[in-house]
Amino acid sequence: MKFKLIVEMLKKVFLALFMVAAMACSADPRVNLDDDGSIKLKPDAQHAVIVKDIVGLFESVHYKKVPLNDSLSSIIFDRYLKDLDEGKNYFLASDIKQFEQYRKTICDDFKEGDLSSMFYIFNIYEQRALERFKYAVAQINDPFNFNQSDTFVFDREKKAWFNSVKEADEAWKKRIKYDLLNLRLSSTDKSNDEKNRTTLRKRYDNLISQTKQTNSNDVFQRIMDAFTGAIDPHTNYFNPYFAQDFNENMARSFEGIGARLGLENEVVKVAEIIPGGPVFKSKALQVDDRIIGVAQGKDGEFEDIIGWRLDNSVSKIKGPKGTVVRLKVIPAGQELSAKPKIVSLVRDKIILEEQSAKKEVKEVTGEDGKVVKVGIIKLPGFYMDAKAANDGDPNYKSTTRDVRLLLDTLKQQHVDAIVMDLRSNGGGSLTEAIDLTGLFIKEGPVVQVRDMRNQVEVDEDKDPSISWDGPLGVLIDRFSASASEIFAAAIQDYGRGIIIGTQSYGKGTVQSAIDMSRVISPANKLLLKAQAQAGKIKINAPEGSPQFGQINLTMAKFYRINGSSTQHKGVSPDIEFPMIYPANKYGESSEPSALPWDQIKTSSFTPFSNLTADKTVLEAKHEKRMKASPEYKYLLDDIAYLNKRENETSVSLQESVMKKERDDLEAKNLERANERRKLKGLPPLKKGDPIPKTNYDFIEDESLKVMADFVSLEKR
């Protein structure tokens, strides 16, 4: 997609912002954070520069054209408090009353680069959180009566803020009791309360440790989350670490050692080894190994990373392809006091194959008794390694390239139909959505994009070749979004295939990723560099990531080729299943700041076929099967149960009551699981056997039956 108009607008905005050289606030900050010696975290100069420039972008090129006024300030204020303390477990009512003076001043402060009030609120939050965690640790050894009739409110979102420390203590006392009761009921040794207390104490000690490691960049990220989220749900500022993660996810690749790392008791632990990476090939590490030191190159000095934040440790371990990293490792199962082994690894480019398109072939018997082979391509996202493509790498990673190869293989396996499974596919590259559509249609428009000046660009597939011209189905759910919706909508509008599932997410906006280094003026960059050299600020960024972070800015809106926006409404399936997750809590329509649905002119296109009559037949056959399906009844029961649980906010703290509720639920789940296993000819499970998580395989099974019907109609 070219976005010529958007590129021109960005050039003008960058030119205007470059002319603004003033870095410091022109007025005193609203809150003097130096007055209180207890204030731990403060904004620095780069935060002031970034927020001012983001304000400039919002005022100049954001699609929504939202005025930065008192009304928006109030929305930011509420979002920030909700983000910090959604469950109302930490702040006191007196804190909130004190914060109210900042409700309508936030946007004015942001324009001046003043973040003092937002940092002040965070510092109070962190202080309250540490008070709560320390109180919890102090209460763990107290005696608890698990036979007493009492309840714990686990969801306090609609409750009032705590009026006093005493009220907070009472609520947290019940939380400790709830945590201990959970451990007691899930333990094989019900009488070993001391072990449960030790487990819980470690949990809260870890929360205290992690809270104390919060830095000013973390606070700035949360402030920006509240700011951008108040504008629209999909405009996001990413600090350098988050920007790197976002871009690596889009590329489905990164450079490093090929291991996913976690944190346990302040020590970095190997959580997963990625196939094909240096660790996998060398077999130098295994899952649960702990990394306590990192050195760069063959001769670099080791740095002890025990107690470090995970992101800081990861940034030391990851690095450019071809470079050497050495690790001090305590093998799994050994004590930390054991002698560490030294592991030397050459970093490489890691391709995340498990997050790439995959295929499988399934057979289904149609109503006519004929066996139909269906090729299923599961696509978790629309990805493209833009850097590798721009560098001229002929083997760069992309959705369309992967799917084209899978289609070629499936054709060799003589499948009768293809299903593109886009369930839980949140989108990704717009270019890939267009190119992927082109594998199934002749050349023509795929999506329309309207920018902030109401000018419409039509993006087309210009390749007349088709990789698959047979029966096609697209499987979607409530979490199929953005690029998934563009693809599904185009397939539906062209009459190219059948859309199966539930109404999709409804994300119909276009974001452009902007490196903040392109926005910050040269004068401000020099000033920031000088401050960093003087040790006044730290500009930490992983190698290859945007130095000052990245903003994904909403600058345009998607429209189907039939003129309808995918925003808010999403794509409605031709063959529909009940929605498992309530639309009022999940999806674009649940977002208060979401843009509305609207419509523009239809694009000129030639339909592939008219499936109206086929859809009527397929829907009738589907409805008939559903009415006779036990699995369909189970789905409706599960939806009713989930809706009931959504409305629950408290739980009993009486052991006998909680145990009975759990035993009843376990018995019901066992009964349901065995009913399902009986339908599949599997032996029953016994009490105590692990019960497989419900994954609604019957939705895929029913989709295959729909495709079998579709194949028989196509062969008429």
Cβ-Cβ contacts under 8 Å for 695 (sequence gap 6 or more) = none
Q: Which residues pair with 450 in a beta bridge?
A: 456, 557
Type of residue found at 545 = S
What CA–CA distance (Å, rounded) separates 243 from 552? 10
What CA–CA distance (Å, rounded) separates 45 from 75? 25
Type of residue found at 263 = L
Task: Spell out a b/e string for 544-560, using b for 16 or more CB atoms within 10 Å of the CB, else e.
Answer: ebbbbbbbbbbbbbbbb
What CA–CA distance (Å, rounded) separates 138 from 205? 11
What CA–CA distance (Å, rounded) separates 294 from 305? 7
Give rounded-to-5 percent helix, strand, coil for the chain. 45, 15, 40
179 a catalytic residue: no
CA torsion angle for 88, 90, 92, 96 (degrees, to 10)?
Answer: -70
What CA–CA distance (Å, rounded) separates 399 from 386? 12
Type of residue found at 271 = A
Tokens of 7: 């590129």
What CA–CA distance (Å, rounded) separates 16 from 207? 45
Catalytic residue among 73, 315, 482, 703: 482
Q: DSSP of 106-133, one letter per residue?
A: HHHHHHTT--HHHHHHHHHHHHHHHHHH
Q: Of 144, 675, 699, give the one whose Cα is nearest residue 421.
A: 699
User: 580: helix, coil or strand?
Assistant: coil
What CA–CA distance (Å, rounded) separates 571 from 494? 14
Residue 693 burial by CB count (10 A; 0-12/13-18/19+): exposed, middle or buried? Answer: exposed
Type of residue found at 630 = P
DSSP for residue 602 = P
User: 30: helix, coil or strand?
Assistant: coil
Specify whether the CB–CB gap between 450 and 556 falls below 8 A: yes
**What CA–CA distances, in Å, run from 381 to 377, 394, 399, 439, 550?**
12, 21, 8, 17, 21
216 a catalytic residue: no
Catalytic residue among 493, 574, 614, 709: 493
What CA–CA distance (Å, rounded) separates 20 from 53? 9
Cβ-Cβ contacts under 8 Å for 683 (sequence gap 6 or more) = 677
Count each helix (H run) and each strand (E run) in the chain, helices first: 21, 21
- Count other C-beta atoms under 10 Å from residue 5's C-beta: 16
User: 451: helix, coil or strand?
Assistant: strand
What CA–CA distance (Å, rounded) separates 709 from 622? 9
Catalytic residue among 52, 316, 359, 507: 507
- Count other C-beta atoms under 10 Å from residue 517's C-beta: 13
482 a catalytic residue: yes
Count Cα atoms within 13 angstroms, Cβ side, for 55. 22
Tokens of 402: 């992967």
Q: Of 7, 37, 54, 121, give the one whose Cα is nearest residue 548.
A: 54
Residues with catalytic roles: 482, 493, 507
